[in-house]
Chain A
């Protein structure tokens, strides 16, 4: 189950289109991705809520828990570690992560796929 990066970087939007601490959804190769800028970092995770089963994670509230950057599901408020995707409230639940970076003022995403 080790995640591996298999695809290329895809430009998504200008960096200034991302409000601090508020996500947006992007469609990358048919996959819904939730993108966040918080604490000077960029994060990309699946838009699919692994518990609720709906594509809503981009609409969650961003924050921190004990110094860890977090994202709360807007459906039932489970909180996830944005760095690892691990759910901090429920055991054995993980939010799939992707990679994000900024090149020349443009945010790019590279999908990860589970093998």
Chain B
């Protein structure tokens, strides 16, 4: 679950622990123990070390510069505060340590694992099994507990609540070897628990008494949309029914739920997530007033009727109302920290806005989501195609935004939430329409945003150029210089032209009216094998630096021979022509393939020896390989002779092709790993090596949910789960970073690979030139759902074809560099000068920097290309003698 701070998170911990400085008895004469007025120093006791209790202590300690308060924290659980909002991440392999929120503080005595048993308000002491803690001020942060309905059988083995890490650990243990599970409660927590059971491999049911899922957050239409999503994930929902009883099986553990409609559900594990109740029992026993629906009654300063006792978080009924979200809880913590240091803060009111991702579905609600304001108006938007539902609640004059609900697509949430109480930022339908239909991210770019960061060109300047008549990308390039350096903003230039209503030709360039996708089809269907034939029959002129590499790539993707064969050599960009990466000084870099980033010491030594013998600069790449810089074209075959002989092959760093499949070390070594990420990464890299595509393709495999391989920033990323692999598609780093979207979950390796095969082949066939997978999916009508329909459900009947294409690729792969070394005709291209092959290029010279060769800066530079290198200022103190 992302976002939100939405967990009804119990502070859950009254506890007092034994521990040393427990002074038996109170009233020892120290401190102002009597009388009224605001107490501003002395002994501060906090009961509870949940998220809010912890936040309170941190806030107080950060501001208590004079150290007025000595703080004792009494905690029920055996572990210090942890992030309960992310509790479910535990099932993704995130450890208890990673959820930890507590940092040691010498000024705070934290006593874990012993519950507080009473509060003596007269003597002002908190009692525990071990003794008493006197207080000058007492803060209750006891949180809440799971509400377990009074139903027979909730005490059976196999029935759990979903509150603490211990609960989750017990659920996981019990799920082992079992097949069915049920969750009582279809709210936020219930759906999270349902996802957990699903991830544990149980056939999962959700029973909700209300007629819809998440009844507190969403309305009935939103709930219906949510139900579709949830059921598609294989979770069965039972709405509008209650659970009458839980019944045991022969072994005495829970086996069945009896429902109020007479039906029953087989369930060997049951999670009760039917709501929460504030933990007010200590306050109640101490005679403090409670809220109308429970909770410790406090005013807007979070103080109880006893001026020395405060309550914060979920146990507090602020002006009578308990809040089950962490954000209002934090607000109460801040109020009391301020008050105890002499401030005048009051509770600002609860922001109940919630945005979260449940079972992969974005759900958001904010403001008056249910439209309870008298006279208010609803604007709703339901799109079964994109499976999104949205509702805005407006004031009776339709001018002021009061609240809303979003299901399926919550991209508008930040804007809408910020607009609650104010005028609508745009017409309602424009706000609610899915992002793609309003022009996507580009439309929302402010004028001052830099579109081309290489040449510092803003959106305003692009728009002005379009208004002045620039009607295509080349015109924009010539007019503004945007896109003339690294070129990564060219797709945005196209989108800006679209946004300005300039009709874009899909023609690849002036030589072909067809788009890349159409050319691919033409080449494939007609069996064309040369650029000359293609341009003669389907184009005009002689081609250019746009269409030639595209056709070369298409021919390579179709597996029609070596990239340097015959006429094809002349089509290649210099990188593909020399099978190396051109650098700014005219030299090249060399990247041998190191699948998955795994390499033997022997091979490392070979790379080191080659670099040393050829005087190459070496650097570790982001893709877990080693880049060797500063090679002249005539050195490339010699370098590769050594590398190939040692068992290396081309890494295709120079190609629009699969680059690397990064990996973390995985379960082989890592204490947290749950799958063999290195093994899978190597298998994938070897399967797809050499695959030419419209743009580079990157991948990574992480062995657990910690995601050390950064798989979500890749075109296809794989993250291990307890039971298999989750596949994410369409991520990239670079100019516009984007996280990949979850595409499929808990796949076996056998199920995973065909999906990636089809994804890649469909991308190669249909993407535009230089379009990464992220932009390809974004531009696709229907987006990820369409992609799923094509490569999972075979809606276009393409799957067999895509599978066969990938099988051909895998069968026909051979190392490009080995093929060059074996062929004198290909080798002759690697010459410095046609009339002086023994003379190395004199313009490539090196200086030494940090012990390695780098391009010498004395090399002639043209006007305007002058670059002066600045020394790196380290900010170290200068030592003078």
Contact residues in B for A89 (Cβ distance below 8 Å): 474, 477-478, 484
Taking the closest CB of chain A, its distance from the CB of B460, in whole angstroms, is: 22
Please tell me if B349 contacts chain A, counting CB pairs below 8 Å: no
Query: Which A residues, 23 to 50, have Cβ-Cβ distances below 8 Å to chain B?
Result: 24-28, 32, 35, 38-39, 48-50
Partner of B542, one of A27, A39, A51, A55: A39
Contact residues in B for A55 (Cβ distance below 8 Å): 586, 841, 843
Please tell me if B41 contacts chain A, counting CB pairs below 8 Å: no
Taking the closest CB of chain B, its distance from the CB of A86, in whole angstroms, is: 13
Partner of B836, one of A27, A67, A90: A27
Q: Which of B5-13, B180-188, B443-451, B567-575 contacts A (4 or more CB under 8 A)?
A: B567-575
**Bound complex: CA A70 to CA B544 (Å):** 8
Evaluate whether A26 and B835 lie within 8 angstroms (CB atoms) in the complex, with A38-B542, A77-B545 already known. yes
Q: Which of A1-9, A11-19, A97-105 contacts B (4 or more CB under 8 A)?
A: A11-19
Q: Is there contact, CB below 8 Å, between A59 and B484?
A: no
Query: Which B residues, 462 to 486, have Cβ-Cβ distances below 8 Å to chain A?
Result: 474, 477-478, 484-485
Query: Which B residues, 565 to 589, have Cβ-Cβ distances below 8 Å to chain A?
Result: 567, 569-571, 573-574, 577-578, 582, 584-586
Q: Is there contact, CB below 8 Å, between B577 and A59?
A: yes
Q: Is there contact, CB below 8 Å, between A26 and B833?
A: yes
Contact residues in A for B577 (Cβ distance below 8 Å): 22, 59
Q: Is there contact, CB below 8 Å, between B545 and A61?
A: yes
**Bound complex: CA A25 to CA B835 (Å):** 8
Contact residues in A for B864 (Cβ distance below 8 Å): 51
Taking the closest CB of chain A, its distance from the CB of B328, in whole angstroms, is: 54
Q: Is there contact, CB below 8 Å, between B835 and A13?
A: yes
Contact residues in A for B487 (Cβ distance below 8 Å): 77
Q: Is there contact, CB below 8 Å, between B860 and A48?
A: yes
Q: Is there contact, CB below 8 Å, between B862 and A63?
A: no
Evaluate whether A61 and B544 lie within 8 angstroms (CB atoms) in the complex, with A25-B833, A25-B834 already known. yes
Please tell me if A85 contacts chain B, counting CB pairs below 8 Å: no
Query: Which A residues, 59 to 115, have Cβ-Cβ distances below 8 Å to chain B?
Result: 59-67, 69-70, 72, 74-79, 89-90
Chain B, Cβ-Cβ closest to A39 = B542
Contact residues in A for B859 (Cβ distance below 8 Å): 53-54
**Bound complex: CA A74 to CA B584 (Å):** 10
**Bound complex: CA A50 to CA B864 (Å):** 9
Please tell me if B839 contacts chain A, counting CB pairs below 8 Å: yes
Q: Is there contact, CB below 8 Å, between A65 and B586?
A: no
Contact residues in A for B113 (Cβ distance below 8 Å): none
Measured CB to CB, the residues of B under 8 A from A are 474, 477-478, 484-485, 487, 510-511, 541-545, 547-549, 567, 569-571, 573-574, 577-578, 582, 584-586, 831-836, 839, 841, 843, 859-862, 864-865
Measured CB to CB, the residues of A under 8 A from B are 11-13, 17, 19-22, 24-28, 32, 35, 38-39, 48-56, 59-67, 69-70, 72, 74-79, 89-90
Q: A12-B834, A24-B831, A55-B843 are in contact. List 7 more A-B contacts (CB 8 A).
A: A25-B832, A25-B833, A38-B542, A53-B861, A61-B549, A64-B544, A69-B542
- Can you pick out 13 interface pairs between chain A and chain B where the beta carbons lie within 8 Å of each other? A13-B835, A24-B834, A27-B839, A54-B585, A54-B586, A60-B574, A62-B542, A63-B542, A65-B510, A77-B487, A79-B545, A90-B478, A90-B484
The 8 A-B residue pairs with the shortest CB-CB distance in the complex, in nearest-first order: A63-B544, A72-B545, A54-B586, A53-B861, A74-B574, A64-B542, A22-B570, A61-B545
